[in-house]
Chains A and B, each alone.
Chain A
Amino acid sequence: MEAESGYREYYARNMRGISGWFKVRAYTIERWLYAAHRITGILIVLFILAHFYSTGWHPGLWWDALLGVVVTFHVANGIRLILAELGLAIGKPLLIKKPSQRPVSIEGVQRYLVVFALVLFIVLAAIWAYYALVVQSMMG
């Protein structure tokens, strides 16, 4: 009986739970970046915990490159989020709207910020990967 009421409550509440963080289909690129930011954030926390446990564990140079991708994405997108959350590049509230007005905070200057964050991510990740895979292996 208890199980039945629990089951019923689950459907009646209709909460998406953690799967809601990653429901990106049908939404704009900001939602994808949100999901990726979550995943990279969780991975960084897990890495730091493992790193605290054993600093000597090192499966290979590719590991450094992979870590670079995770960290640089979180940094680049983090810069975008800090700027947006300080109210920069998200435009001003409108006095006049078009019949089917698209939001200024998404499709205004903020889109350039998205491009900037992605370019910064690629550049930083490339530098990190070059260092991890080429420079480090040359140094032995």
Chain B
Amino acid sequence: MASEEAKDYVLPPEVLEETVRASEELWKPVKKVKFRIYKYNPKKDYAPHWEEHELEVSKGMTVLDALLTIKGEMDPTLGVRYSCRMGLCGSCAMMINGKQMLACQTRVLEAAGDGDVVELRPLDNFPVERDLAADFTHFFEKHKSVKPWIIRSDEVELNNPTGPYKQTVDEYARYYQFTDCIKCGACLSACPTAATDYEYLGPQALAQAYRYMVDTRDDGLDVRIAVVDTEHGCWRCHFAASCSDVCPRGVDPAQGIQLLKRLIIKRKFGYKPHKPAEALPAKVKAESKSGG
């Protein structure tokens, strides 16, 4: 019986053959691509220089795959930061042919297009750590400065919760999009304001500020307005929208910043987006427990 059931799950031979063929096709070398890589160690080098490596690439090869091959076989001194290899950690953002992208999510052939050169640089407007790795210290400080956590005035409930805070799906939808941020730094790097203003909070921090300001569980609207409604805050954004264009997670920080501006203007007229949500009463919790 068990073997009969198992048989049902075996792929028909023609499908299996097609799958194997497609997989082989994906990893078969297609053409030679020249990688132009930025090399610079600020602690040692006087100025950056470029190094070129040629590699046979296949359809499925990502830029990160290529970099690791180059690091393993051609240039062991190459500095590159990566971690998850699947677009979740945001470590490998870099300039690929002049645009901010995740190396792990960009296929080499896609980046090269009709040409056969891929130029790799560290993220613009970020200090260089070494070669392709950028220094994110300032970026994370900006993120921290907008207080990206739930701020409440009811300390007792916060420290000894009696239940989850009440939130409807519509209220959740107001900020869900912005929670997908992986802090890869692509948005700040693409921002033309950040090119001349080092202190500018940047799309990432401002979108996160908005995310917490419209979260119904939060009560820190005025605390955050004091941070973002400043000289280097949201009013330096002029909607070039490149942050949203390059975001690998579809967070759309440009939209967040414009909504943040609207929220601040409304706040000047005394509007508050919500009352801080209350914890669900014990009765509801008991009912939902018995119901489910």
Residues of chain A having any CB pair with chain B under 8 Å: 4, 7-8, 11-21, 23, 25-28, 30-31, 33-35, 37, 81, 84-87, 90-95, 97-98, 100-106
Q: State the interface size on chain B (CB cutoff 8 A).
A: 51
12 contacts between A and B (CB under 8 A): A8-B42, A11-B40, A15-B196, A20-B124, A21-B192, A31-B241, A85-B237, A85-B239, A86-B261, A92-B173, A94-B176, A101-B250
Contact, CB under 8 Å: B240 / A34 = yes
User: B48 CB to closest chain A CB, in angstroms?
Assistant: 6
Confirm or deny: B150 has a beta carbon within 8 angstroms of a beta carbon on chain A. no
B239 touches A30 (CB 8 A): yes
A3 CB to nearest B CB, Å: 11
Contacts of A13 in B (CB 8 A): 127, 198
Residue of A nearest to B177 (CB): A93
B238 and A106 within 8 A (CB):
no
Binds A, one of B10-18, B68-76, B216-224, B252-260: B252-260
Residues B245 and A27 in contact, CB atoms below 8 Å apart: yes
Chain B minimum-CB-distance residue to A33 = B240
Q: How far is the CA of A31 from the CA of B245 in the complex (A)?
A: 10
- Are the C-beta atoms of B242 and A93 separated by less than 8 Å? no
Q: Is the CB of A11 within 8 A of B178?
A: no
Whole-angstrom distance from the CB of A136 to the nearest CB of chain B? 34
Q: Give Cα A31 to B190, complex, Å.
A: 10
Instruction: Identify the closest chain B residue to A95 (Cβ).
Output: B173
The reply to whether B258 and A85 form a contact with Cβ atoms under 8 Å apart is yes
Q: For residue A37, which residues in chain B have a CB less than 8 angstroms away from its CB?
A: 238
Given the complex, which residues of A lie within 8 Å of B177, measured CB to CB? 93-95, 97
